[in-house]
Chain A
Amino acid sequence: MEHIRLPKVENVKLLDRISHRRRRVGTLYLTATHTIFVESEAGVRNETWVLHSLVCSVDKLAATPSGCPLLIHCKNFQVLHFIISKEQECHDIHLSLQRLSQPESYDELYCFSYKPNVDEKERRQEWDFLDLKADYSRMGLPSSLWKLSPVNQHYKVSDTYPADLFVPESATPPVIVGSSKFRSRGRFPALSYYCKDNHAAICRSSQPLSGFSARCLEDEQMLEAILRSNPCSDFMYVVDTRPKLNAIANRAAGKGYENEDNYSNIKFQFVGIENIHVMRNSQQKMLEVCELRSPSMSDFLEGLESSGWLKHIKAVLDAGIFIAKAVAEEGVSVLIHCSDGWDRTSQVCSVACVLLDPYYRTLRGFMVLIEKDWVSFGHKFSHRCKHVVGDPKEVSPIIDQLLECVWQLMEQFPCAFEFNERFLITIHNHFYSCQFGNFIGNNQRERIELRVHERTHSLWSYLWANRTDYTNPLYRPNHSQTQGLLRASTSPYSFKFWKGLYNRFDHGMHPRQSVEDYLRAIQEETQQLEEHTGEGLHYIREVILILWLITVHSYYKSKEKKKIPPGCFSAFDKSPTVWAPGNNLGLANTPQDYTGGFITGSPCQPKGPDSILLPKSTNQISDASFSNGSDQESGIADLSCRSPLSEDSTRDPDSDEAAYSAA
């Protein structure tokens, strides 16, 4: 609280990102955890909540006659453009927010103060919801070929690895330790996925410290052991996910890649995914394109191309496909690494798993996947997502790229995934929000030190509890599309721009009617109908029985009357369908800025040479009577209420209310 210089500013304008003419006026509040904008329009109480931990940058722009602009960029791609009338107030808000959005220690993070109304027992149960060991036993492990190794207990061998790791049965502790000494950060080859049908495995590690000529017998033995754990195959792939040039450069620093001559029966392969710095810059460029105010089609496509973003997504997916095919079609085991083995390696392992195993395309399976390849194997969430103040060069949207690869696959295989786009976007939000403890810290060891499991809540059980929101209505577990390996296309035209994520808060850009919501409503209704037809049939049988009884007993025996059960059919007395898409449309749907400012008389409209012939009075009439700004504005406001995606950052947390009243 000591960082809040000014808790409340009145008469603040919030501009619409696309059309600055649309604006809302209201009061801005700063609380310990949120920035809140409350629209002061009569009648409606429209609130915008932004978690401080989601704030990526706060910029104070040069003051204008109408006030001092404050621009807030969020990690979930929300952009808020405020105008604060007094410069001093803007200054205070700016400084407060800068401090509030950049926690200096983990203890400041929201998850440690987030206290939903859940008792301690339930909270502990949240953390038991996912069990990685259960996933390994689902894969058929431990087995005669793979064992759970205690070698990294207390993080002695690699402090960024989890304590529990699966290694080949034949790998002895000296071999593992020896291999780990020959690998960056001690990240020795360990199992990520095992295909019990053909014994092929996906293993992961960091780069070998091979330099120009160094060798390590134990490391060579370790790879040999992995190869031998797959009795059906006489070679294995070693996939270096970096561009060859980067890997060669690493040799000069005593690192590098495997020499095929030193390792028996390996096939070595580069797949050329760029490093975290390239990815960070690429996303930044793409976001600049997303933020253009009214871009032409060429601005957009050129910008998208020069950002390189889709090229990188394609590279990750291509690598995943290569590995998935090696495992599923060739039955060959694969060792994947990059430099440290926590960014590109995690991406490629996960993408391959999603392609290979239908389980990872279910709600629970995808949570397990993130828990396995990312949380447990030490993807540096806190550095990459900038949870606390730190080196900006460590920040990179590696995990965003995983979600996008999965989204691209969902677009190609609409029936193959149990979860929907909303699920991915919600998870994305919480990688950054720090509301739950799951992604705090950079590895398992740090999370234990922070006592995350004792002090915070888990996202996974929250998502599971709300799973109806995240379920894809088209998913069928027994559908042919759902089974086995997904044969994805990576032709460039198969990739789409993910506006659902990157333009998430630009409601006007999204389809105004959602097929998915429509189908979900239909399915819910179907479920009710199923119950009721069951009940109804049952009831009619009873009635017939009674009628028969009544006839037999000639009316005198029984005066008891069978009552019609309350509620039977009543659900359908109101309307034939529970959700009519057109109903809300009038409110949701308003014209955009199609005119280029013509109708409201904006000066940017190029004037024809003969426009001087236009009588002046006509021009003035046009300016006065043709402005329909307020009308459009109300439409936009309603739109944000309707969109189901717009509010998960504001609506879900129970504590939001508490935090607000505390302010």
Chain B
Amino acid sequence: MSTEIMEFAELIKTPRVDGVVLHRPFMPTVEGTLCLTGHHLILSSRQDNTEELWLLHSNIDSIEKRFVGSLGHITVKCKDLRVIQLEITGMEECLNIASSIEALSTLDLVSLMYPFFYRPMFEVIEDGWNSFLPQNAFKDLESMTDEWRLSEVNKDFSLCPSYPPLVAVPKDFDDETLKKVATFRHGGRFPVLSYYHKKNGMVMMRAGQPLTGTNGRRCKEDEKLINATLRPGKRGYIIDTRAINVAQQAKARGGGFELEANYPQWRRIHKAIERYNVLQESLIKLVEACNDQSHSMDRWLSKLEASNWQTNVKEILTTACLAAQCIDREGASVLVHGTEGTDSTLQVTSLAQIILDPGCRTVKGFQSLVEREWLQAGHPFQQRCAQSAFSNSKPRHEAPVFLLFLDCVWQILRQFPCSFEFNESFLVLLFEHAYASQFGTFLGNSAAERARLCLPEKTVSLWSWVNRPQELERLTNPLYEPNSLVIWPSVAPQSLLLWEGVFLRWNRSSKCLDEAYEEMVHIIEYNKELQTKVNSLRRQLAQLETEDPLLHTP
């Protein structure tokens, strides 16, 4: 703790101010003492614990300050899209607080992040860092097929810095060949197994773009590897998440796409999923639209449209559905890639699995999916989630790629409300923790970085916290009934809704909707209670009957 104080002390100009007034959406105004610690902004009225505010500095996206006389107003805009106001008397205090918050919320050094200082106040039942080890996931695959093996070729992250140490590859390909293929793929991301469809043995693979360049470079090993994943007489689809013209332009920078002449058993489909700053722009515009106070319907609809957020949701979901359709309905294998293979590619492969695989619709299965297809697969969380919708600084690598994925999951959940073991709260929780968290799960940009930071040793996993009965109860969908089928969502604009639970969460009271949810839980709980009662009556009756032979009818 003392080192923490040492490191942050110089950043905290005023650690404590009395008489600060806090305004939060849908909560009563609180007057109390504001304290700044290395990682938290705390406001406490010291009367009632429920009126305390504990805000992680890392959750702060931007702040604004203004003065009316000597009364300072600080508007704190959070990455979870909440906006709170602080009123501080005294210009100097206010300026000090504001600049301290600014400095503390923009610390770049990972090792100073809160997860390295956080000590859990709960008993860890199961260490989340060991819950989803790749070798365990591979055991399931082995039980279904022997066509794949786990390769340790990337053990020291030298072949592909964004891949995990263990990847599943076709059995007949040795590590030497993989090394050659890696040189032909963006970021060394050679094709690896993402999903095996048990029903018909079709597979989904993902990779980085092939480095064909302008003169159409080929790689025999790459062609062989991809073809080897097809069964005799079968064909496959390459889903390129970029529009054809974008893929064409990539050639000039050494990238490109698979020429069908070189991959004759494969057919290529281009889909236009947006990336990077276009997505960040879209998020910023959407949140701005949601916070517009003009009360004009035309303005709202046109801003919603102009944000393109719903368009992005539709495009991503449609592409995922297409991948799933190729696998399940066409009986074809699929290779998905965009440019790097760390963003839109993962959106598509993970959503397709939710559609195809009932296992991914359970709490544990979904965690495993996030672990496999996002964390292990090298989605650069730290870069993408560094800033959210209120950031004033120019976006560098920020993009709400993961949030869009969660939004798409929510859309499917809305359409199949009984097919998911988890509820909306779980998705919102993942959104929050991806952007700011006391847990180490979403720190770093790749498995390599996480290994270097020794996260499993130095931080607590989000899963350790989530997978305890009291948290699970809150995140479990009371309507869940396991559904072993493939679920095909509708992608019509009418069917895709704005995710209120995230985007309107702080703009309107959710009291009535929460009450409706509680009512629903109550109806189901009461039913279960009665079921138990009937069963116990049944047992009593059976017992009475065996005790008294006379009760048996002849």
Task: Report A's interface with B, CB cutoff 8 A.
Answer: 18, 290, 294-302, 304-305, 308, 310-311, 314, 412-416, 473-474, 476, 479-481, 489-497, 499, 503, 506, 508-515, 518-519, 522-523, 525-526, 529-530, 532-533, 536-537, 539-540, 543-544, 546-547, 550, 555, 561-564, 569, 572, 576-577, 580-582, 585-586, 589-592, 594-595, 598-599, 606, 608-611, 613-615, 618, 622, 626, 628, 631
In the complex, are the beta carbons of A589 and B322 less than 8 A apart?
A: no
Residue from B314, B417, B530 within 8 A of A513 (CB atoms): B417
Shortest CB-to-CB span from A220 to chain B, Å, is 35
Residues of A within 8 A of B482 (CB): 582
* Best-buried of B313, B491, B513 by chain A (most CB within 10 Å): B491
Mind listing 23 A-B residue pairs with CB under 8 Å? Answer: A300-B493, A302-B302, A305-B298, A305-B301, A305-B305, A414-B519, A415-B516, A473-B523, A493-B300, A512-B416, A518-B479, A529-B533, A529-B534, A547-B544, A550-B550, A561-B554, A581-B481, A592-B492, A594-B318, A599-B325, A606-B244, A628-B329, A628-B330
In the complex, are the beta carbons of A591 and B260 less than 8 A apart?
A: no
In the complex, are the beta carbons of B523 and A522 less than 8 A apart?
A: yes
Within 8 A of A (CB), among B485-529: 485-488, 490-498, 504, 507-508, 512-513, 515-516, 519-520, 523-524, 526-527
In the complex, are the beta carbons of A537 and B537 less than 8 A apart?
A: yes
In the complex, are the beta carbons of A613 and B261 less than 8 A apart?
A: yes
Residue from A518, A563, A609, A626 within 8 A of B330 (CB atoms): A626
Residue from A304, A533, A543, A585 within 8 A of B485 (CB atoms): A585
Known: A526-B527, A585-B487. A513 touches B516 (CB 8 A): no
Q: Does B249 contact A (CB under 8 A)?
A: no
In the complex, are the beta carbons of B492 and A298 less than 8 A apart?
A: no
In the complex, are the beta carbons of B244 and A499 less than 8 A apart?
A: no
In the complex, are the beta carbons of A589 and B264 less than 8 A apart?
A: no
Residues of B within 8 A of A518 (CB): 417-418, 479
Complex: A299 Cα to B311 Cα, angstroms? 10
Residues of A within 8 A of B486 (CB): 589
Residue from A290, A493, A495, A611 within 8 A of B260 (CB atoms): A611
Complex: A194 Cα to B305 Cα, angstroms? 43
Q: How large is the interface on B (under 10, 10 to 19, 20 to 34, 35 or more residues)?
A: 35 or more
In the complex, are the beta carbons of B295 and A490 less than 8 A apart?
A: yes
Q: Does B217 contact A (CB under 8 A)?
A: no
Shortest CB-to-CB span from A434 to chain B, Å, is 29
Residues of B within 8 A of A537 (CB): 537
Known: A296-B493, A509-B495, A550-B548. A414 touches B553 (CB 8 A): no
Residues of A within 8 A of B520 (CB): 474, 515, 519
Residues of A within 8 A of B504 (CB): 493
In the complex, are the beta carbons of B418 and A513 less than 8 A apart?
A: yes
Q: Does B454 contact A (CB under 8 A)?
A: no
Q: Does B419 contact A (CB under 8 A)?
A: yes
Residues of A within 8 A of B264 (CB): 615, 618
List 4 A-B pairs, minimum CB-CB distance, nearest first.
A492-B300, A300-B493, A414-B516, A305-B301
In the complex, are the beta carbons of A479 and B515 less than 8 A apart?
A: yes
Complex: A493 Cα to B524 Cα, angstroms? 31
Shortest CB-to-CB span from B440 to chain A, Å, is 36
Complex: A28 Cα to B550 Cα, angstroms? 66
Residue from B297, B319, B527, B534 within 8 A of A495 (CB atoms): B297
Complex: A421 Cα to B311 Cα, angstroms? 28
Complex: A561 Cα to B554 Cα, angstroms? 9
Residues of B within 8 A of A295 (CB): 492-493
- Nearest A residue to B292 via CB reads A492
Residues of B within 8 A of A506 (CB): 492, 494
In the complex, are the beta carbons of A594 and B297 less than 8 A apart?
A: no
Shortest CB-to-CB span from B500 to chain A, Å, is 8
Residues of A within 8 A of B417 (CB): 511, 513-515, 518
Residues of B within 8 A of A525 (CB): 527
Residues of B within 8 A of A536 (CB): 534, 537-538, 541
Residues of B within 8 A of A413 (CB): 512
In the complex, are the beta carbons of B495 and A499 less than 8 A apart?
A: yes
- Nearest B residue to A489 via CB reads B508
Residue from B493, B513, B523, B544 within 8 A of A543 (CB atoms): B544
Known: A547-B544, A563-B553, A564-B553. A301 touches B493 (CB 8 A): yes
Interface string of B383-422 (1 = CB under 8 A from A): 0000000000000000000000000000000111111000
Q: Does B40 contact A (CB under 8 A)?
A: no
Residues of B within 8 A of A296 (CB): 311, 314, 493
- Nearest A residue to B271 via CB reads A596
Q: Does B551 contact A (CB under 8 A)?
A: yes
Interface string of B276-304 (1 = CB under 8 A from A): 00000000000000100001111111101
Complex: A314 Cα to B321 Cα, angstroms? 35
Shortest CB-to-CB span from A612 to chain B, Å, is 10
Q: What 10 additional pairs, Cβ within 8 angstroms, besides A546-B551, A609-B248?
A: A305-B301, A509-B492, A512-B416, A513-B418, A515-B418, A540-B541, A547-B544, A569-B538, A576-B531, A610-B259
Residues of A within 8 A of B261 (CB): 610, 613-614
Shortest CB-to-CB span from A415 to chain B, Å, is 5
In the complex, are the beta carbons of A591 and B325 less than 8 A apart?
A: yes
Known: A491-B507, A550-B550. A523 touches B523 (CB 8 A): yes
Complex: A497 Cα to B59 Cα, angstroms? 33
Q: Does B42 contact A (CB under 8 A)?
A: no
Shortest CB-to-CB span from A425 to chain B, Å, is 15
In the complex, are the beta carbons of B544 and A301 less than 8 A apart?
A: no
Known: A529-B527, A611-B260, A613-B259. A509 touches B418 (CB 8 A): no
Complex: A480 Cα to B290 Cα, angstroms? 28
Q: Does B310 contact A (CB under 8 A)?
A: yes
Residues of A within 8 A of B490 (CB): 508-510, 592
Known: A509-B495, A512-B416, A609-B244. A311 touches B298 (CB 8 A): yes
Within 8 A of A (CB), among B234-276: 235, 244, 248, 259-261, 264, 267-270
Shortest CB-to-CB span from A390 to chain B, Å, is 32
Complex: A25 Cα to B2 Cα, angstroms? 80
Residues of B within 8 A of A314 (CB): 297
Shortest CB-to-CB span from A405 to chain B, Å, is 14
Interface string of B466-489 (1 = CB under 8 A from A): 000000000000010111111110
Shortest CB-to-CB span from B242 to chain A, Å, is 11
Shortest CB-to-CB span from A614 to chain B, Å, is 5
Residues of A within 8 A of B534 (CB): 529, 532-533, 536, 569, 572
Complex: A572 Cα to B531 Cα, angstroms? 9
Known: A297-B496, A492-B301. A610 touches B260 (CB 8 A): yes
Shortest CB-to-CB span from A290 to chain B, Å, is 7
- Nearest A residue to B500 via CB reads A493
Complex: A117 Cα to B168 Cα, angstroms? 69
Complex: A296 Cα to B416 Cα, angstroms? 23
Complex: A526 Cα to B513 Cα, angstroms? 23
Within 8 A of A (CB), among B305-319: 305, 308, 310-311, 313-314, 318-319
In the complex, are the beta carbons of A511 and B537 less than 8 A apart?
A: no
Shortest CB-to-CB span from B337 to chain A, Å, is 15
Complex: A506 Cα to B491 Cα, angstroms? 13
Complex: A551 Cα to B385 Cα, angstroms? 76
Q: Does B49 contact A (CB under 8 A)?
A: no
Q: Does B540 contact A (CB under 8 A)?
A: yes
Residue from B269, B314, B418, B507 within 8 A of A582 (CB atoms): B418
- Nearest A residue to B265 via CB reads A618
Residues of B within 8 A of A492 (CB): 295-297, 299-301
In the complex, are the beta carbons of B481 and A580 less than 8 A apart?
A: yes
In the complex, are the beta carbons of B491 and A594 less than 8 A apart?
A: yes
Shortest CB-to-CB span from B483 to chain A, Å, is 4
In the complex, are the beta carbons of B508 and A508 less than 8 A apart?
A: no
Shortest CB-to-CB span from A516 to chain B, Å, is 10
Shortest CB-to-CB span from B230 to chain A, Å, is 13
Shortest CB-to-CB span from B533 to chain A, Å, is 5
In the complex, are the beta carbons of A608 and B244 less than 8 A apart?
A: yes
Complex: A561 Cα to B550 Cα, angstroms? 7
- Nearest A residue to B330 via CB reads A626
